[in-house]
Amino acid sequence: MTTISDMLTRNATMYPDDTALAELKPSENIRKEITWKELDERANRVANALMDRGIRKGDRIIQWMMNSINWLEIYFGIIRTGAWVVPLNFRFTSRDLKYCADIAEAKAMILGEEFTERLQAVRSQLPAIQHYILVGGNVPRDMDEYENLISNSSSTPVGVELDDEDGCGLYFTSGTTGAPKPIFLSHNNMVCAAITEQSHHYQSREDNFVLLPPLYHAGAKMHWFGSLIVGGRATLLTEINPRYIFEAVHQERGTIVWLLVPWTHDILVALDNGELRKEDYDLSCWRLMHIGAQPVPPTLVQRWKEYFPDMQYDTNYGLTEAAGPGCVHLGIENERKVGAIGKAGFNWDVRIVDDSGEDVTQGEVGELLVKGCGVMKEYYKNPEKTAETIKDGWLYTGDMARMDSEGFIYLVDRKKDIVITGGENIYPVEVEEAIHSHPKVYDVAVIGIPDARLGEIAAAIIDPKPGDTLTEAEINAFCEQNLAKYNRPRRIIFDRVPRSPTGKIEKPELRRKYGGQ
């Protein structure tokens, strides 16, 4: 079989001196780059160093780092040993680390210096971890220093044979819906992600993928796999604001940028108020902007196209259980259907079913199911949850959706996020999309909160645009014009909307704060 590791080796053979990755830290005017040959050789050095320390096929290695070239070379080095990489969210606490390390029974850990304090708080409680490797300075005596370690290791391939269904990664969800769930992905899942992504966005060697989201998350890395498979370069932007994004595209000649909803908002606000001017940058190279990881308000895309009418756009839907993005996508040729998440992705099938598992009629709301080569192997060490989630090869996503007469799928909401008011189902995503279209609204989240008479009511947490004054009366008047009566939020709260590093609204935090379940 061909693995993503083989893709790296092939690029190193075919394009040895071409730049594979550039890394930018604008605030310090730092730029690094690495060629395909150098990336391949350093990954081999990582693999050899790990195997010299007893790491073998099937072992688990925690990777807890911020985005960098080092992140990716270490990732490839780990999987070349046949071990499973366990990438951790950079926002995880010491308690989260112990939880994940215990489930993974990790044998080694590679971490950035930013995480040493959190590690030390629980290190004595991690007896299974035998080796610690630190990337950065201030290395404790009982840890290996990364650069010193790999400089003394061989750059020759380790020769470990990898099969399609061999384990590749153990990905823990972000924990916004409870304890992080361990999702076991295979090498075949990774190849599926690469093929699907390249089929959707037509990456070529001429493209430069500007990579912003955290690499521990399935979405960012799997989108980049579409460039990896064809030898296309990428630019890692390690600090994010509207100006830095435009500068990265301008200076590196970026052609593809995957944005999250909050970053897109920030760019539009900066353009609207004159803090950012298109005329100051050459963005003619930027051919595609796509968004994923959370529902995308149609008004957001419409406003984007006012500034960039000729730029291609795509909406991506995915989940870690499906090896990241792409099981459903809009398609750059279907911009007229913005608001939908699209149709089944390349190599994927979809269904929408009722509570008994039967297909709903066209237009009705049901649970979205997906089936394809990207479906995870299992929830690790949780056969009951796995059996509940995967049935006859179909992955039950937990997302409620409907399909229109043309076969386009519209995401309605998470099954667990539906608000039931007096017997009526309210789908928060639909309410959020309506309120997002208010010209003074920067961000919005809708949750259910308890109500003695109706069971629960919908509450809208609204973050106005900077500098704008927004009142409850204005929002209520707007909702009267744009939402059916039963769909209107009965409580308006002005507050910041918390989002995860991947852009998802952290509704459990809002429920805890405002009395939701």
Of 176, 175, 170, 187, nearest to 101 by C-alpha is 170
User: What does the pLDDT look like over 257-297, one tens digit per residue?
Assistant: 999 887 898 899 999 999 999 999 999 999 999 998 767 77
Domain count, the chain: 2
pLDDT of residue 509: 85
Residue range 289-331, pLDDT digits in tens = 999 876 777 888 999 999 999 999 999 999 899 998 899 999 9
Contact 106, 97 (CB under 8 A): no
Whether the pLDDT of residue 21 is over 50: the answer is yes
Question: Within a domain: residue 408?
Answer: no
**Domain's final residue, options 173, 189, 205:** 189
pLDDT at 36 over 60: yes
Cα 20 to Cα 8, 45, 121, 140, distances in angstroms: 10, 17, 37, 32
Number of other CB atoms surrounding residue 318 within 10 Å: 28
Cα 408 from Cα 446, distance rounded (Å): 25
Q: How far is CA 447 from CA 85, 366, 450, 462, 490, in A?
A: 35, 20, 10, 11, 11
pLDDT in tens, 110-128: 999 999 999 999 999 999 9
**pLDDT given for residue 358 in this prediction:** 95
**Exposed (0-12), middle (13-18) or buried (19+): which is 463, by Cβ within 10 Å?**
middle
- Per residue in 235-264, pLDDT tens? 999 999 999 999 999 999 999 999 988 789
**107 pLDDT more than 80:** yes
CATH number of the domain residue 76 falls in:
3.40.50.12780
pLDDT band at 422 (very low <50, low <70, confident <90, very high): low
Work out the number of other CB atoms within 10 angstroms of the CB of residue 316: 26
3-state secondary structure of 102: helix
Domain for residue 104, yes or no? yes
pLDDT at 450: 81
> What value does the mean pLDDT take over residues 379-403?
94
CATH label of the domain that carries residue 473? 3.30.300.30
Instruction: Region of 422 please: left (phi>0), alpha (psi -120 to 50) or beta.
Output: left
Which residue among 169, 189, 209 closes a domain? Answer: 189
Share of the chain above pLDDT 70, in %: 96
In a domain, 124, yes or no: yes
Asked whether residue 495 carries a pLDDT value surpassing 60, the answer given is yes
pLDDT over 70 (residue 516): no
Helices 218-228 and 187-201: angle between axes, nearest 10 degrees:
70
Q: Which of 159, 189, 219 is the last residue of a domain?
A: 189
Mean pLDDT of 226-232: 97
What pLDDT score was predicted for residue 502? 66
pLDDT, one tens digit per residue, over 177-224 is 457 789 999 999 999 999 999 999 999 999 999 999 999 988 888 999
Domain assignment present for residue 237? The answer is no
Share of the chain above pLDDT 90, in %: 74
Instruction: Give the side-chain half-sphere CA count within 13 A for 399.
Output: 24
pTM: 0.85
Instruction: Tell me if 333 is assigned to some domain.
Output: no
Q: For residue 175, what are the domain limits? A: 4-20+33-189
Average pLDDT over residues 448-454: 75
pLDDT above 70: residue 176: no
H or E segment to which residue 185 belongs: strand 182-186
Task: Note the pLDDT tens digit of each residue in 45-70.
Answer: 999 999 999 999 999 999 999 999 99
d(CA 247, CA 346): 33
In this prediction, residue 116 carries a pLDDT of: 95
pLDDT, tens only, 135-148:
998 899 899 999 99
Q: Is the pLDDT of residue 517 over 70?
A: no
DSSP code for 346: T
Model pLDDT, residue 499: 85
Predicted pLDDT at 174: 61
Residue 105, in any domain of the structure? yes
Residue 478 is assigned to a structural domain of this protein? yes
| 175 is a domain residue | yes
Return the pLDDT at 218. 83
Q: Residue 31: enclosing H or E segment and its boundaries?
A: strand 30-35
517 contacts: CB under 8 Å, gap ≥ 6? 448, 450, 456, 511
